[in-house]
Amino acid sequence: MRSKGITLTRHILMEQRAHPSATGELSTLLAQVGLVTKIIARAVSRAGLADILGVTGAVNVHGEEVKRLDEYANQTFINVFGHSGLVCTLVSEEMEKPKHLSENCSQGKYILFFDPLDGSSNIDVNGTIGTIFSIHHRMDGDRHETDAEWFRPGSEQVAAGYVIYGPSTILVYTAGNGAHGFTLDPTIGEFLLSHENIRIPGRGKTYSINEGNYPVWHPSTRDFIDHLKEKDPASGRPYSSRYVGALVADFHRTLLQGGIFLYPGDMKNPKGKLRLLYEAAPLAFVVEQAGGAAGSGTERILDIRPTDLHQRVPLLIGSSEDVALAESFATGRKKRDYERRKKT
Ligand code: AHG
Ligand code: MN
Ligand code: MN
C-alpha cells in the first residue's frame, strides 16, 4: 500500500471540508494527538537507552503496577493538551479522576479519553504496544464537570482511533467517515496516508484470546473456541490462533486481515478486563467504520451507556460474521442449534 504523500493534517482538513459546520478545532485536536504519539513513539524507540523502562512503584486505579512509560505517555498528553485551549477535560486510564484543564474550559469544546500506553506488559520485552484515544463533544451549559459529561455511549464519539508502535508507527482514526491509516515517516516526522478507507473482511481465519483463562471461561466461550478449532475445511475451520497480549496489536491485525479478538467476561472477571471508555468504545467506532462489529456478547459496544469512568466490558470485536457467530454462542442460540441438529 503506497503512501500518496497525504499527511494526517491534510487528510483531516480534507475530511473537515466535508463538514461545513466544522470549525477546525477537531482537526487541530486530532493533529495534536498525532504530535503526542510522535513524542511517545520517540520515547518507545529509545526506551532501553533513555532509562525509561521498568515500573514507577505506583499502582493505578485498576490495581495494576504503573510502568514508567505509562506515566511518561500520560504526562505527554497533559503537557500537549494542557495549554491547547481545545480540550476541557482529560480522562485517562492512568488517572483515577477526570483532569479538568480549567484554563481551557472557557472555550475548549471537547473531552479526550485515552489509554496512553496499551499493552504495558510488552514494554520491557520490546513487544508491540499502542495508544488509544476517543473524543467527545462537551455538553453545552455548565454540566461540563458532572458525571453526565463523561458517561456517554460510544455512539456519541466525534472521533476515535489508536496508534500502534510496532516495526512502524501507524495511526488509525475515524471521524465517522471511514477508517484511515497513516504511517509515521521518521525522516520527516510526519504521518503519511498509507491505509485509505480500511475495510475489514466479512470473515477471517484467526481468533485472538488469552487461552490461559480457559479454566475460568464460561462454557459458551469454550464451545465457541472449540468450534473454531474443529477441522471442517468447508467452513474454513480450524482458525489459527494469534495473541500478542496488547489490544492495539491484536486489534490492528484483526482490522486488516479479519477474524475476531475476544476478551470475554469469565467466572473470575464477569466484565472481562478491558475498559469501555478508552479501549472498547474507540476501537468499536473504528471497526464499525471499517465494516466490522463490536459487542459485549449481549449488546453493541457503541450502545452501552457507561456508569463508571473505568468500567470494564466484555469485548468481542472484528469481522461481522465472526462476531455474530461468537454472539450466537454467547447467547446460547448456537448451542440450541447444535443440540437441535444433533437430535435430527
Ligand atoms: P494496558 O496495558 O493499557 O493495561 O492494557 C492491557 C490489556 C490489553 O492491551 C490486552 O489486550 C490485555 O490487557 C491483555 O491481558 P492479558 O494479559 O490478561 O491477556
Ligand atoms: Mn490498554
Ligand atoms: Mn494502558
Model pLDDT for residues 175-205, shown as the tens digit of each residue: 999 999 999 999 999 999 999 999 999 999 9
pLDDT at 333: 73
Alpha carbon distance 115, 243 (integer Å)? 20
CB-ligand 1 contact for 112 (6 Å cutoff): no
pLDDT at 336: 63
pLDDT at 142: 56
What residue owns the CA closest to ligand 1's atom 7?
A: 119
122 CA → ligand 1 middle, Å: 9
Cell reading at 15 = 475530511
Q: Which ligand has the shortest distance to the CA of 120? A: 1
CB-ligand 1 contact for 93 (6 Å cutoff): yes
Average pLDDT for runs of 10 along the chain of length 344: 79 80 82 96 82 73 80 96 89 94 82 96 92 91 64 95 97 96 95 97 98 97 97 96 98 98 97 98 98 97 96 98 96 68 62
pLDDT at 247: 98
254: CB partners within 8 A, 6+ apart:
200, 204, 206, 208, 260, 261, 317, 318, 319
pLDDT at 145: 61
pLDDT at 343: 65
Domains of the chain and CATH, by start: 8-195 (3.30.540.10), 206-343 (3.40.190.80)
Q: Which ligand has the shortest distance to the CA of 162? A: 2
CB-ligand 1 contact for 120 (6 Å cutoff): yes
Ramachandran bin of 267, using left for φ above 0, alpha for ψ from -120 to 50, beta for the remaining angles: alpha
CB-ligand 1 contact for 279 (6 Å cutoff): no
Model pLDDT for residues 216-242, shown as the tens digit of each residue: 999 999 999 999 999 999 999 999 999
Model pLDDT for residues 48-83, shown as the tens digit of each residue: 666 677 677 777 777 777 778 999 999 999 999 998
CB-ligand 1 contact for 245 (6 Å cutoff): yes
Work out the angle at residue 183's Cα, subtended by the Cα atoms of residues 206 and 254, and round it to the nearest 5 degrees.
10
Q: Please report, as a single letter, which amino acid is at residue 316.
A: L
CB-ligand 1 contact for 273 (6 Å cutoff): yes
Its pTM stands at 0.94
Cα–Cα distance list, 49 to 11, 71, 320 (Å): 34, 17, 42
